Structure 1
Amino acid sequence: MIHQTEFTHSHGYHGGNRSLLLQRARSLGWTGADAAFIDASVNLNPLGPPDFLKEVLFQSYERLVEYPDPSYGELSALVIQYHQCNSNMDVVFGNGADDLIFALPRMLKKITGGRALIRIPSYGSYQEALELAGFAVQTEQNWDRFFCKFDERLDDEPDTMWFGAPNNPDGELPQDYPDGVVAFARKKPKIYFVIDESFIDFTLETSLLNREMVPQNIIVLRSLTKLFAVPGLRIGYGILSKELGYQLRKELPNWPLNSLAEAFSRRVFSDASILDFIQRTKQYVATERSRIMGALSSWYDLCPSKGNFFLLRPRDGAEQAGAFLRDYCLRRGLALRDCSNFPGLGSSWSRLGLKNFSENDQMLKILLDFVGAHSSMYHATTHKDLE
């Protein structure tokens, strides 16, 4: 007999499962209130949702008894206008960016030879989705080699190249983004570039969509989940050529967005306050990231992130030290993201998502207390013994 727990989730582990993290923290001795628990394993906007979220919820009540527009025509026009895309670009919506991440390889496998290159460390769903679709996946960690990994022979090139901008989980961008990527894509018209910009509005950098005449072999993924702190609404979209958009829709179910998600999206792309909301987010993230990383830089290895999250590990880099750090934090009501399932990283690394000012101060105190109280303990004691 198969037990239910054996098939509850078939994909890789993701952060943000607050109930499981709380359960783990309780088992390790955390006794604080649930509301006081800080989940820094997620990388949502620390400013929270826009003010109009509740208004949209109330106004959408009557729409819930109707089917959404299957073409999402009005919403698509708003997205094109918002990003100032040229007329040959299309918008395809998904139930979160993950919906599109798994649909794209199925579509690309039908029109390519099935070779993929991913820049690592990376969001685990890229490799999982490509392999499920039958792609042979190669990986590369160095940005320069990522763009020059293959010879000039056409038969040595990948059919598709995937990366995040900024990349998750390290928050890095390729040099000279986006112009360098646009120029490279024009030189390699037979390669399809899938670029995940889900976190670009947390940075001070420019989106590729701000460039005129985006090459037809570039597919840009975006998400409203992270920026507007509404993970429960599941809103993702891809901007790509009309020809590719037609093919991609064949891999998706009808009505990928429910009526509430559609209504919220329409408000985002038409509300005059959104640009100010994004600018405040950019400034907050830049200031807080610099403050927190600066305070930790003498005690932890850090990655030079441009986003609302960053990687850190105890200075000696031992796998055991990383696991001990995460358990130490859980005992004090703080969850870090275990990076052991990110391709290209190990369990010594943890990802920290920025929170509000007060929570950031609490996180900083816990991380510095770890250094002061336990920096030498895990050298002589196994993690099992410490538990």
Structure 2
Amino acid sequence: MIPPHGGQLRPIAERFGLPLEGLLDFSANINPEGPPASVFTTLHKALEDPATLTDYPDLQQSALKQAIASYAQVTAQNIVVANGFVPLLEAVLRTLPIRRCLLPVPAFNEYRKALARARVEVVPHPLSEHLNFRYDLDSAPRTDAILMANPQNPTGVLHDLATILAIVKRAAREGVHVLLDEAFIDYTPEHSLAPLVERYPNLIVFRSVTKFHGIPGLRVAYLAANPALTAEMELNLPPWPITTLAAEAVRAALTDLPYAERTRMLNRERREYVQHELHNLGIATYPAAANYLLLRPPSHMDTNNLWQRLIREHGIVLRDCANYEALAPGHLRAAIRTEPANERLIEALRQAMQGPAKQS
């Protein structure tokens, strides 16, 4: 069975009878540099004060919202925080009168699940692989909302700000809400629409802190929207969604601007290297702007067999994309990691594509 998400190493280790610590994870798109050093310093200092654990977190999360607002170039009144993207999306669906939602696919699998739980009719809109999964919604049916991502997952394809803004403007004229997931926009922040939420009340932008800053274990995400909407959404979230430690860590991470610039530079260089080497192996990729690549090995290869061989023979875990809706069979997704890890991946793929499978 294919894991429903990346980063699920324990069930994979159990399935293949391998030690967990021996697996190299390319299935989860987390910054391989780890958290900024300031996060560790902040957490150590916070734990020296017993009140960090004995007092309730700030119910309003005022300091956290202000730090996020400064980072995203909005006001604190534009921000809602929660312990992950899914709780935020569910709060939106409880707040807005959405009955039918357009879902361009392939897309993050949790979109459809959240819509189904909210009893929203999903209207899938398959994107063309031949057009590199570009958003072409001219022929899409009319709905109450559009749920989309920039950059996309699993493709990594980025649309520039003007392209997404044109969709938002057209949707505004038609009374349609645009729910825009920007979980990986930190790699190209100049294309974020978050600063425009005051101008377009139909726009709701979701952002993640944990992927880019390497702290997924702390579970923090936020959305930016018009203040009239955020006030209502706050009422549809449970109290205390963010722990004190998580809030302190995120505030430290967001103010470390040299870390962010270095992350963007390293990711761009590493991604270009991996793409070049993959193409030399005959593995196709798509134009990506995030910290992962969608791979398509040659059509004669059994992709699931390749995925298993990489695990059994090399301890390398890619994301098998067979469970992505409307994505043609034969795709894998690989995160961008450090130089030694990336070289290990390329060599493992070279061996797995050239030689016969070893007996397990």
Note whether the superposition's TM-score is higher than 0.5.
yes
Instruction: State the AA in 2 paired with 1:358.
Output: P
Partner of 2:222: 237
Q: 1:357 to 1:25 in 2, by over 3 A?
A: farther
Once the two structures are superposed, residues 301-346 of structure 1 have per-residue CA deviations (whole angstroms, 9 ceiling, x without a partner) of 322221100111321166xx11101111001110011112222225
User: What is the rounded CA distance, in whole Å, between the counterparts of 1:193 and 1:234 in structure 2?
Assistant: 24
| Structure 1 segments unaligned to the other structure (5+ residues) | 1-11, 151-155, 378-384
1:372 maps to 2:354: yes
Partner of 1:256: 241
1:281 maps to 2:269: no
Do 1:161 and 1:192's aligned partners in 2 also have CA atoms closer than 8 Å?
yes
Shift, 1:246, TM fit: 1.9
Give the one of 76, 79, 82 matched to 1:94: 82
User: What is the rounded CA distance, in whole Å, between the counterparts of 1:214 and 1:339 in structure 2?
Assistant: 37
Instruction: State the AA in 1 paired with 2:74.
Output: C
1:149 maps to 2:132: no
Instruction: State the AA in 2 paired with 1:342.
Output: Y
Q: 1:244 to 1:370 in 2, by over 3 A?
A: same
Once the two structures are superposed, residues 203-254 of structure 1 have per-residue CA deviations (whole angstroms, 9 ceiling, x without a partner) of 4752223558541111111111101111110001011111211222232110
Q: What SS does structure 1 have at the residue aligned with 2:248?
A: helix
User: What is the rounded CA distance, in whole Å, between the counterparts of 1:260 and 1:86 in structure 2?
Assistant: 23
User: What is the rounded CA distance, in whole Å, between the counterparts of 1:144 and 1:106 in structure 2?
Assistant: 29
Give the one of 10, 16, 19 matched to 2:7: 16
User: What is the rounded CA distance, in whole Å, between the counterparts of 1:167 and 1:133 in structure 2?
Assistant: 23
Q: For residues 6-155 of structure 1, what are the structure 2 equivalents within 5 Å?
A: 13-26=4-17, 30=18, 34-61=20-47, 62=50, 63-85=52-74, 89-108=77-96, 111-112=97-98, 114-140=99-125, 141-142=127-128, 146-150=136-140
Do 2:270 and 2:336's aligned partners in 1 also have CA atoms closer than 8 Å?
yes
Q: For residues 292-331 of structure 1, what are the structure 2 equivalents within 5 Å?
A: 292-298=274-280, 299-316=282-299, 321-331=302-312
Instruction: State the AA in 1 paired with 2:303.
Output: G
Do 1:119 and 1:146's aligned partners in 2 also have CA atoms closer than 8 Å?
no
Once the two structures are superposed, residues 156-188 of structure 1 have per-residue CA deviations (whole angstroms, 9 ceiling, x without a partner) of 5211111111011110123xx212322332232
1:182 maps to 2:182: no
Q: 1:145 to 1:354 in 2, by over 3 A?
A: closer
Count of paired positions: 346
Q: 1:103 to 1:340 in 2, by over 3 A?
A: farther
User: What is the rounded CA distance, in whole Å, between the counterparts of 2:213 and 2:11 in structure 1?
Assistant: 24
Q: TM-score, normalised by structure 1?
A: 0.83
| Structure 2 segments unaligned to the other structure (5+ residues) | none
Q: TM-score, normalised by structure 2?
A: 0.89
Q: 1:307 to 1:104 in 2, by over 3 A?
A: same
Do 1:96 and 1:225's aligned partners in 2 also have CA atoms closer than 8 Å?
no
**What RMSD, in angstroms, separates the aligned Cα atoms of the two structures?**
2.3
